[in-house]
Structure 1
Amino acid sequence: MADEHRSPLSGIHTLLSAIRYRYRLILFVAVAVLAAGVTYVMQMPDVYQSETQILVNPQRISDKYVNSIATMDASERLNTLSQQILSSSRLETIMDELHLFSNLRDKVSHDELIKRMRKNIGIELKHNSEGLSAFTLSYTGDSAQEVANVANRLAESFISWNLQDREQEAKGTTTFLANELTTTKSQLDDLEEQLRSYKMKHLGELPDQLDANMQTLSRLQVELQANTEAQSRLDHEALLTSSLPDTGSPRTPSISTSVRQKLMTEKYAAQTELVELRKHYTDSFPDVGRKEAEIRSLDGQIASLPSDPTPLATADSTNTANPRLQLIHRDHDRLQDEQRKIQGSINRYQSRIDSAPVREQEVSQLLRDYGTARDHYRALLEKTYSAQMAAQLQQEQQSGNFTMLDKARVPEAPVGPKRIPLFLAAFLFSLVSGIGVALLAETLDNTVKSETELRDCLPDIPLLGTTPGMQNVPVIRRGLPQSRFLLGGQ
């Protein structure tokens, strides 16, 4: 087979032969491409870049004294401000102010110009152990003076927008806290008025007055017992005085009078025991109820006795002129009035004590609401003072902000394009283009140029010989016919 006669070097030999044969074409194409590339590189406009460094200043006053009102750290704020800087409205303002892309405004759309400007802006962050410390803001363009002006304008706008943003944030926070403080103070005043009105309405029934009411009730019960004992003594003294014989005829007490006196003594003893029980128990205690029932039973028995003048009445009827009986009568009336007053006071204080649990629950609800509102008001008041100091600190620019270290300078030399690497690339591309065109021409050429090609074309016909090499072969080959090889059988 013809493929068996090929060697690995045959392809390289064919390539070199084609290059030697078509070197003029290669040189022509390479020179043309190189000239076009060099011309294009030389005509490329110079690219200038100007940059400025912005320092991130920490808050000058310690957070221990004044808390910063800013809710974002420097990195987050930088990201936010970077988005604001690259916004279409702000870039459009700077573009119109500095008259950028004046030669392209009639050829390119407004959005395309903003995209180009946004692409020319560069932001590079620099961090240290404590976080963001500085960042570099740069701008790239085809005019040295223009890129410096744009970089400085972007930096100034960045710092100005940052201050405005922080001032607006501080002002908004202060205003919000002031409104909340006013609303909370109004609620607190309403709760204070409700609590005051409730205490005035239920004065004496409040839980904090329970101990005083208990002490007063105990004192009144002692006074009631003393009053009852005094009345009993007066009744006994009146009986003795009225039972003494006068100068006229002797008189003995009736049986009904003796029974009444006995019942009165039992009633006095029951009342004394009731007073003692009330010192330690409430009216709901069973012994207190039984003792009250006993006193009511004694009152019923005394009322069921036949009408019999009391010792004082008997004394008045028998001996109205007795000064001792008149004195006993006045003391007895006085003690009865005091007893009624003491009993009324006991009932009133007992009612206060009984209603204390209800009042305690109601007061607890009011105090809980008042305490919550008061704590909220105090917290808002503290936050308002802190926000006001932070706002004042922000106005004095002593809070964390940005500072432009050095203004962007007009660049002395362009940063691009890199012409030497581009020239080398154009040279290599011209060589590759020339060789490629030569290979393409060789591929499209159907002439037989070597014994190998002839064997491939006529594998079944033996080759008798070839003509020797001659000078100026390409020139001679152009005038000779294609069949210059001697083939067997012809």
Structure 2
Amino acid sequence: MADEHRSPLSGIHTLLSAIRYRYRLIIFVAVALLAAGVTYVMSMPDVYQSSTQILVNPQRVSDKYVNSIATMDASERLNTLSQQILSSSRLETIMDELHLFSNLREKVSRDELIARMRKNIGIELKHNSEGLSAFTLSYTGDSAQEVADVANRLAASFISWNLQDREQEAKGTTTFLANELATTKSQLDDLEEQLRSYKMKHLGQLPDQLDANMQTLSRLQVELQANTEAQSRLDREALLTSSLPDTSTTHAPATPSSIRQKLTADKNAAQADLVELHKHYTDSFPDVGRKEAEIRSLDAQIAALPSDPISSAATETVTANPRLQLIRRDRARLQEEQRKIQGSIGLYQSRIDSAPVREQEISQLLRDYGTARDHYRALLEKTYSAQMAAQLEQEQQGGNFTMLDKARVPEAPIGPKRIPLLLGAFFFAIAAGIGVALLAETLDNTVKSEAELRDCLPDIPLLGTTPGMQTVPIIRRGLPQSRFLLGGQ
């Protein structure tokens, strides 16, 4: 029941009472912590920061003339370079070159030093409408000269590694294209040799020679017809000559032409008609078939004739006639020419017939050759472009990084912020002193007020209170100075 009648201000009154009662403890704890905080803040080393700005240059030569072979934009390249340069091996090299953390090398492992160095490096990117335009590289440390040296060393590493990376990329592309070009050229040479061998093997049967073969075949057919007609004329002339009496031989009887000569003349005429039909019709035409059957029938009739002694005598008579001898020589020559013409006609006819097959075979070779040739030309153009791009990178005319200003030695530290830290230490010391006083008050079991007594003995009625007894020094501090002086007398 006592807790229900307690005032809300009793807790604040208790707190103020504890502060008044233990103010010496509060002052002691606050002063001790404040002294320790001030000592720590003032002993903290100064922190310096030095930075440099690196400009991302676009390619100086227009893409219309030389295409860049860089596969990454500036942001991706910067990310890759950051991973390379901020690697443990690179940072360890810089740390050894500049003798960083010389006072901590015996106390801390190298991995921790590299992690601390990586943490002190800052990269801030700046973009425009076209992408990455520049970035700021900074380094933080406890030495002004050291932070400037490290920032400049890191900036130089970024620039040199960017150039080296682009040159290696250009050389790698050029080498790859050169190898591909050599392989493609070898394949192209093989296909050219195959195509040349095929053309030499099937010379005269190629599709592009079809028109020439057709013209030659027509010319040979005309020649065959003329030859057949010439033989027919010679046969008629031989018949007329053989029917006349021979003036040089009075005893040679004048015999008529034999059946063999007539059949031969009919065969020559039929062959002339067949040549004429071939000019206008194919072998499947009925007239062509009938004419060929007629020629075969005449050949069979000539072969079936028996030897004629009269014909032999006539032959001897013909041999004795000079005119007939000339006619026989001319006819033999025409027959030889006829065989040659017929052989040529058969050859060119076979070439014409095989043209579709040759066209199908050579089309595959030409298609493979054309594909290899186009690929070779494309690789050749790319190789020339890659060589120009590599030359451009070697002359540093491609897109690269440029340090605008070197990192300078900072004149003033950027930290620590001692005034805010001191204020924080002051308020922390006061709060800690009050906290210690409250803790001591909580741990103290003595009764210091009527409320505490009622809380300890809720069932026992309170009869009365006695005023607190004050010591002499406290009484004297409470009395006026004049009264104190009178009491001394």
Same fold (TM over 0.5): yes
Distance in 1, Cα, partners of 2:16 & 2:314: 166
Q: Is contact 2:235-2:265 (8 Å) kept?
A: no
**What are the Cα deviations for residues 284-330 of structure 1, in whole angstroms up to 9, with x where unaligned?**
7787566544432331122113334899x776433545444333223
Instruction: State the partner residue of 1:356.
Output: 355
In 2 relative to 1, CA 460–76 (structure 1 residues): closer, same or farther, beyond 3 Å? same
**Counterpart in 1 of 2:436?**
437
Equivalences for residues 421-436 of structure 1 within 5 A: 421-436=420-435
SS in structure 1 of the partner of residue 359 of structure 2:
helix
Deviation at 1:472, TM superposition (A): 7.2
- Any residues of structure 2 matched to 1:260-271 within 5 Å, and which? 261=262, 263-264=263-264, 266-271=266-271
Name the CA distance, whole Å, in 1 between partners of 2:121 and 2:392: 32
CA distance in 2, matches of 1:177, 1:281: 58
Q: Distance in 2 between matches of 1:310 and 1:45?
A: 146
Q: Residues 42-121 of structure 1 correspond to what in structure 2 (within 5 A)?
A: 42-121=42-121
The equivalences for 1:32-431 within 5 A come to: 32-244=32-244, 253=256, 257-258=258-259, 261=262, 263-264=263-264, 266-279=266-279, 291-308=291-308, 316-431=315-430
Distance (whole Å) between structure 2 residues aligned to residue 419 and residue 309 of structure 1: 150
Query: Does the 8 A contact of 2:235 with 2:261 survive in 1?
Result: no
The offset of 1:352, in angstroms, is 1.7
Question: Structure 1 residues 323-332 or 153-162, which shifts more?
Answer: 323-332
Structure 1 counterpart of 2:13, one-letter code: H
How far is 1:467 from its partner? 3.1
In structure 2, relative to structure 1, the CA distance for the partners of 1:183 and 1:153 (3 Å cut) is: same
Q: Structure 2: how far apart are the matches of 1:207 and 1:433? A: 106
CA distance change for structure 1 residues 238 and 70 in 2, over 3 Å: closer, same or farther? same
Alignment partners' CA distance in 2, 1:191 and 1:310: 69
CA distance in 2, matches of 1:19, 1:385: 89
Q: TM-score, normalised by structure 2?
A: 0.89
One-letter identity of the residue aligned with 1:120: N
Query: Displacement, 1:166?
Result: 1.3
Name the structure 1 match of 2:464: 465
Query: Is the Cα–Cα contact under 8 Å of residues 207 and 360 in structure 1 kept in the other structure?
Result: yes
**Greater CA drift, 360-369 or 380-389:** 360-369
Contact 2:75 2:132 in 1 (8 A): yes
Q: Which moved more, 1:367-376 or 1:40-49?
A: 367-376
Distance 1:288 1:420, change over 3 A: farther
Unaligned runs of at least 5 residues, structure 1: 477-490
CA shift digits 1:201-232 (9 cap, x unpaired)? 22212111111011101110111111112212
Quote the residue 2:451 is aligned against.
452
Equivalent pair of 1:316/1:326 in contact (CA under 8 Å): no
Q: 1:314 to 1:82 in 2, by over 3 A?
A: farther
Look up the match of 1:481: none
Letter of the 1:96 counterpart: D
For 1:310 and 1:379, the matched residues in 2 are separated by: 84
Do the aligned residues in 2 keep the contact of 1:21 with 1:474 (CA within 8 Å)? no
Question: Which is further off, 376-385 or 239-248?
Answer: 239-248
Q: CA deviation at 1:342?
A: 0.6
- Distance, in Å, in 1 between the alignment partners of 2:125 and 2:286 is 87
Is the alpha carbon distance of 1:460 and 1:277 closer, same or farther for their aligned partners in structure 2, counting shifts above 3 Å?
Answer: farther
Could you say if the C-alpha distance between residues 336 and 307 of structure 1 is closer, same or farther in structure 2, counting changes exceeding 3 Å? Answer: same
Instruction: Classify the secondary structure of the residue corresponding to 2:364.
Output: helix
**Matching residue's letter, 2:405:** D
- Deviations along 1:430-450, one digit per CA (max 9) or x if unpaired, are 121111111111111111222
Are 2:25 and 1:22 equivalent residues in the alignment?
Answer: no
Contact 1:316 1:325 in 2 (8 A): no
Q: Residue deviations 1:353-380, cap 9 Å, x none?
A: 2222232223222222222221121111
The 10-residue stretch of structure 1 (190-199 or 36-45) with the greater mean CA deviation from structure 2: 190-199
Tell me the CA shift for residue 155 of structure 1.
0.7
Please state whether the residue corresponding to 1:154 is helix, strand or coil: helix
Contact map agreement 2:318 2:325 (CA 8 A) in 1: no
1:240 to 1:121, Cα distance in 2 relative to 1, 3 A: same
Structure 1 distance, partners of 2:171, 2:107, is: 45
> For 1:26 and 1:420, how far apart are their aligned partners in 2?
23
TM-score, with length taken from structure 1: 0.89
- Between the aligned partners of 1:443 and 1:122, the Cα distance in structure 2 is 50
CA contact (8 A) 1:241 1:315 kept: no
SS of the aligned residue for 1:126 comes to strand
Matched residue SS, 2:295: helix
- Residue identity (%): 88
Measure how far apart 1:253 and its partner are: 3.4
CA distance, structure 1, for counterparts of residue 462 and residue 398 of structure 2: 97
The change in CA–CA distance for 1:280 and 1:48 in structure 2 (over 3 A counts) is farther
Greater Cα offset, 94-103 or 465-474: 465-474
The residue type equivalent to 2:425 in the other structure is A
1:45-97 alpha-carbon deviations (Å, 9 max, x no partner): 00000001000000000111001122111111100110111111111111111
- Number of aligned residue pairs: give it: 472
Once residues 308 and 143 of structure 1 are traced to their aligned partners in structure 2, the CA distance between those partners, rounded to angstroms, is 136
- The Cα offsets for residues 251-296 of structure 1, whole Å up to 9 and x where unpaired, read as 5637xx35862x4455345423432443356657787566544432
Partners of 1:314 and 1:218 in 2: CA distance? 42
Task: Look up the equivalent residue of 1:253 and give its one-letter code.
Answer: P
Task: Give the conservation status (yes or no) of the 8 Å contact 2:238–2:327.
Answer: yes
Give the RMSD, CA atoms, in angstroms: 2.7
Shift in Å at residue 144 of structure 1?
A: 0.3
